[in-house]
Structure 1
Amino acid sequence: MTARVEPLLFAAPSGGVPNNPDLPLLVYRGVLAEAERSVAGLRALAGARGWHGFWQGGVYPFHHFHADAHEALGVVSGRARVQFGGEGGAKVELAAGDAVLIPAGVGHCALWGSADFACVGFYPPGAEPDLARDETPPADAALRVAAVPLPATDPLFGEDGPLVRAWRARVIPA
């Protein structure tokens, strides 16, 4: 499995979204094989690396973030435009086979999705995700985001995946 990785860093807050000054959001293009484009397929792949909490659906159509957990999304069908980083953030086109690793604190909001758009979401070992909306963020959101531990493994590539290399080194991959 190989991936073209597109990093996006949202270092500054945007409205009530704290974002994450240290960790880039990673968009993996065309990384999921057909067999991995389901809850069962991603559970087998990422679950073997300890990731958990698998759910299938869409991305909420309002700006929100998770102050207590990083989140991974695997696009299993269709296409969507998702805005990351809050209202001033980047609008990213996603398609079946793409995956996104969202650092704690980084806002996300579905702007548009095809009728067949679906993604699978999941979280690193030990993570218990919260849900915070940009208009009502917790007062301590930035402190909580900073306290979220780094995952030991990339959910798709294991111990030497792009997430591990970029997040542990605090560098933006080329």
Structure 2
Amino acid sequence: MNERKENIETLFFKDDGVIPNHPNLPVLLYKGIWAKDPSRAESRLNRNGWGNSWLNGVFDYHHYHSNAHEALAVVSGFVQLVLGGEKGQRVYLQTGDVVVLPAGTGHKRLEASPDFRIAGAYPGGTDYNTRTGEPGERPEVLREIRDVPIPGTDPVYGNEGPLLELWNKRK
């Protein structure tokens, strides 16, 4: 399991008034990190301390989780997401890619291949909520996002890794 750390990209998103995004933490993209054996993505996430996992797709509407960070690992196919809200950034993910979304980060599926499947998981197996940017939820979600702790493990590398290095610098 020789995974190269130089394939990690960071993306920052600001609050757009509807989707809060995270005020300090970047989205992390691990491109092609598990391309050699994507079928084990869910078990690898679990082994690295990210649980409450599932295997499915991504909603086709803007949403975010205000009480949990989320790791998404592409098991098969490809997907184009928009991250950060309506005016956010389009991101293309394919088999073997992993994206880590800090609490509050908006995400929406724009298109996907027929064979697209993704594994999702949360640090420590956290129960997550699903928010859509309704005006009444705003004061509560801003507090929740701020209170979500930095995970104790990186979903790809475990007890060490870019998430721990990058996110602990920015808390």
| TM-score strictly above 0.5 | yes
Following the alignment from structure 1 to structure 2, what is the Cα–Cα distance between the partners of residues 137 and 146?
Answer: 18
Aligned to 2:66: 67
Following the alignment from structure 1 to structure 2, what is the Cα–Cα distance between the partners of residues 27 and 137?
Answer: 31
Please list the CA deviations of residues 114-161 of structure 1 after superposition, one character each: whole Å capped at 9, or x if unmatched.
Answer: 111111000001521100012456231111100001101101101221
Quote how far apart the aligned CAs of 1:46 are: 2.1
SS of equivalent to 2:137? coil
Identity in percent: 40
Quote how far apart the aligned CAs of 1:57 are: 1.1
Please list the CA deviations of residues 80-132 of structure 1 after superposition, one character each: whole Å capped at 9, or x if unmatched.
Answer: 11000001110001111100000000000001111111110000015211000
The aligned runs of 1:95-134 (5 Å cut-off) are 95-125=94-124, 127-134=126-133
Q: What are the ranges of 5 or more consecutive residues in structure 2 without an aligned counterpart? A: none
Alpha-carbon RMSD across the aligned residues, in angstroms, is 1.6
**Is the CA contact (8 Å cut-off) linking 1:15 and 1:86 kept in structure 2?**
no
Quote how far apart the aligned CAs of 1:22 are: 0.5
Aligned to 1:149: 149
Give every structure 1 segment of 4 or more consecutive aligned residues whose post-TM-superposition deviation is greater than 2 Å. 134-137
If the length of structure 2 is used for normalisation, what is the TM-score?
A: 0.91
SS of equivalent to 2:163? helix
Q: What are the ranges of 5 or more consecutive residues in structure 1 without an aligned counterpart? A: none
Aligned to 1:5: 8
**Match 1:17 to one of 16, 19, 23:** 19
**How many equivalent pairs are there?**
167
**Is the CA contact (8 Å cut-off) linking 2:42 and 2:54 kept in structure 1?**
no
Following the alignment from structure 2 to structure 1, what is the Cα–Cα distance between the partners of residues 99 and 156?
Answer: 11
